[in-house]
Structure 1
Amino acid sequence: MNKRHAAAAATAATLSLTLAACSSEPSEGSSTSALTHIHGLGLAGGQLYIATHEGVYSPGTNGKPVLVGTSKDDFMGFTVARGTTFYASGHPSQGGNKGLIVSTDAGKTWSSLSLSGQSDFHALDYVDGSLYAYDATNGLLRTSRDGRTWKSGATLQALDIAVNPSDPALVLATTEGGVARSTDGGRTFLRSQPPVMTFLSWKAKDALYGIDISGGLNRSSDSGATWKKVSSVPGGQPQALTAVNAEHVLVASQKGVYESKDGGKTFTRRMTVAGGDG
């Protein structure tokens, strides 16, 4: 077992999550009745994008997921940076690590930027023109201004990260012991503190969202010092979380992709998920 799988397995077991792979693959450009193994969510130009083990999908006119572009690679880390520029990471369909890849046409085509074959970023965040990434292959936090050259930060076992949109020096990471906090841009982290969260997303200074291990969606207005439960994530075990803004939240779980426009109080199902636990 390599470092990536060892780190992911240890953290995922504690957080009651599974980063398992699946074997089915859709045809190029095809629609599928339901998604499986979701790793990331994003919204660009009003369009929903769903990063999965078998490519990036968007809702089609018939309500079924449609493959964006032709890539059916495993998209692990995924973030919408600005406009139609997306960053991602994961594994080619034939195996290995993709390092950091970029799309400037909303996921239709992708090109390699850096660390191909070396790193698999399981979590990506884009804040104030910089990329923050959790390198699961090597178990460390990395940062980059251009996506080509990287600064190595702290070594830790984490599942997700979130960066304060108003103060990028403040970085949070979900670990088996709770939420770890960095005040120096990820170079060092303080000891993790409860509660234990699985996923985090932070798009407004006073609206940090986190999903706890019981599936509760929580919100913090004080940078994670205290949390208030808003609701329970619909559809079973959570797979991904993205806050679009202070009130607009996207969540993927075992049974679907859900959207809330009232700060997580109520959700509408946007897509169906078929038995995924990735």
Structure 2
Amino acid sequence: MTRAGQRLRTGAAGVGLAVALASCGQASPEPGGAGESDPGVGHVHGLGVDPADGALYVAGHYGLFKVTSPTTITRVADRDQDHMGFTIAAPKTFLASGHPSAEDVSPDRPPHLGLIRSTDAGVTWKSISADGSADFHSIQPAGDNLYAFDSQTSKIWRSSDGGTTWSQGAKEQVIDLGAGADRPSRVYATTPDGLKVSEDGGVNYTDMPKAPLLSHVDVLPGGALVGAGADGKIHTSQDGRTWAAAGELPGRAAAFTAVDRQRLLAAMEDGTVLESKDGGRTFATAFAAAG
């Protein structure tokens, strides 16, 4: 979930990133025409491809969806639970946070899910930790470490036991986190002020002034970075110091994921999902609502 671009502190791009920090999305028309009463996907919070069967998943404000054709999408388990921080960690193993379905909200049910995990491709979910208190807007596995940004404390959390227990690190205005198994103690954070990096597992962060302004960033095997800029441009870097521009999205991405070095996924604000198979040089539509 990388985002590269010119580092900005003010202006429209900075405002757009700041808005993204708090965005939980608005409803969009139901893909596949399920009916007027269906709220649709809503704002897209995450994307991923399940290694088990190659299926593309879209995590939205009103549920987790499996793309079944370029114009149709199916809500998994008919559940309209909000899926924040959605990440596919292994075959059929998904991580997420967010908020319960409307019918599950009650005075006794706090509106934050903490960390939840599914081992059957989103059909059922189990609460792992921080139920009722944490709302993780970004979740990032990195070898034995698991990182998450909690919107309630504005802190980056780290776990070394799969999310059962956590230590809390720096307080930042984080939009997205990126980390990899090659350097599990190194974690990147995209912020309205630019890309930052921690070498101590999120305890302390330093600015990366040569990086472009990114909304999302992902770490590829070997430590290379790929991200989507606040202006929609795709940027790559081998070391975080020098950056190269690839292609360009039609606008700022609402969600971004690097499946691998060549395959990139991006969701636009209208819910359209774009896919690149050449490292971000070109994009084609992977899903768009019919009509």
Instruction: Report the TM-score, using the length of structure 1 for normalisation.
Output: 0.85
> What is the letter of the counterpart of residue 55 of structure 2?
Q
Q: Which residue of 1 aligns with 2:4?
A: none
Q: Equivalences for 1:103-142 in 2 at 5 Å? A: 103-142=118-157
Give RMSD over aligned pairs.
2.5
Q: Equivalences for 1:229-268 in 2 at 5 Å? A: 229-234=245-250, 236-255=251-270, 256-268=272-284
- In the aligned structure 1, how far is the partner of 2:70 from the partner of 2:193? 43
Residue by residue over 1:44-95, the C-alpha shift from the partner in whole angstroms, topping out at 9 and shown as x without a partner, is: 1311011000111111258311111232111111100011111000111335
Q: Which residue of 1 aligns with 2:17?
A: 15
Tell me if structure 1 keeps the 8 A contact 2:264–2:277.
Answer: yes
Higher RCO (CA 8 Å, separation ≥ 6 residues): 2
- In the aligned structure 1, how far is the partner of 2:130 from the partner of 2:40? 32
1:161, distance to aligned residue in structure 2 (A): 0.6
- In the aligned structure 2, how far is the partner of 1:12 from the partner of 1:54? 27
2:45 equivalent among 26, 36, 39: 39
CA distance 1:209–1:17, change in 2 (3 Å): farther
* Farther-moved stretch of structure 1 (189-198 vs 42-51): 189-198
> What is the letter of the counterpart of residue 102 of structure 1?
R
CA distance 1:191–1:237, change in 2 (3 Å): closer
Unaligned runs of 5+ in 2: 1-12, 106-110
Tell me if structure 2 keeps the 8 A contact 1:101–1:114.
Answer: yes
Residue by residue over 1:28-54, the C-alpha shift from the partner in whole angstroms, topping out at 9 and shown as x without a partner, is: xx6989743101011113110110001
Q: Which residue of 1 aligns with 2:87?
A: 79
Tell me if structure 2 keeps the 8 A contact 1:175–1:192.
Answer: no
> What is the letter of the counterpart of residue 22 of structure 1?
Q
Does the alignment pair 1:55 with 2:66?
Answer: no
Unaligned runs of 5+ in 1: 1-10
> What is the letter of the counterpart of residue 37 of structure 1?
H
> What is the letter of the counterpart of residue 39 of structure 1?
H
> What is the letter of the counterpart of residue 251 of structure 1?
A
Q: Which residue of 2 aligns with 1:4?
A: none
Residue by residue over 1:146-190, the C-alpha shift from the partner in whole angstroms, topping out at 9 and shown as x without a partner, is: 211111111111110101331111111011110111011111111
- In the aligned structure 1, how far is the partner of 2:289 from the partner of 2:204? 37
Tell me if structure 1 keeps the 8 A contact 2:156–2:169.
Answer: yes
Tell me if structure 2 keeps the 8 A contact 1:34–1:65.
Answer: no
> What is the letter of the counterpart of residue 40 of structure 1?
G
Tell me if structure 2 keeps the 8 A contact 1:26–1:54.
Answer: no
2:224 equivalent among 192, 196, 207: 207
- In the aligned structure 1, how far is the partner of 2:148 from the partner of 2:228? 19
Does the alignment pair 1:91 with 2:99?
Answer: yes
- In the aligned structure 1, how far is the partner of 2:44 from the partner of 2:123? 18
> What is the letter of the counterpart of residue 176 of structure 1?
P
1:133, distance to aligned residue in structure 2 (A): 0.6
Q: Percent identity?
A: 36
Does the alignment pair 1:165 with 2:171?
Answer: no
Instruction: Report the TM-score, using the length of structure 2 for normalisation.
Output: 0.82
* Farther-moved stretch of structure 1 (192-201 vs 30-39): 30-39
Residue by residue over 1:86-121, the C-alpha shift from the partner in whole angstroms, topping out at 9 and shown as x without a partner, is: 100011133511100000001111111110110000
SS at 1:13 equivalent:
helix
Q: Equivalences for 1:152-231 in 2 at 5 Å? A: 152-191=168-207, 193=209, 194-222=211-239, 224-231=240-247
Tell me if structure 1 keeps the 8 A contact 2:27–2:39.
Answer: no
> What is the letter of the counterpart of residue 194 of structure 2?
G
Tell me if structure 2 keeps the 8 A contact 1:253–1:273.
Answer: no
1:24, distance to aligned residue in structure 2 (A): 6.9
Q: Which residue of 1 aligns with 2:9?
A: none
Tell me if structure 2 keeps the 8 A contact 1:257–1:273.
Answer: no
- In the aligned structure 1, how far is the partner of 2:47 from the partner of 2:70? 20
Tell me if structure 2 keeps the 8 A contact 1:180–1:189.
Answer: yes
CA distance 1:71–1:180, change in 2 (3 Å): same
SS at 2:138 equivalent:
strand
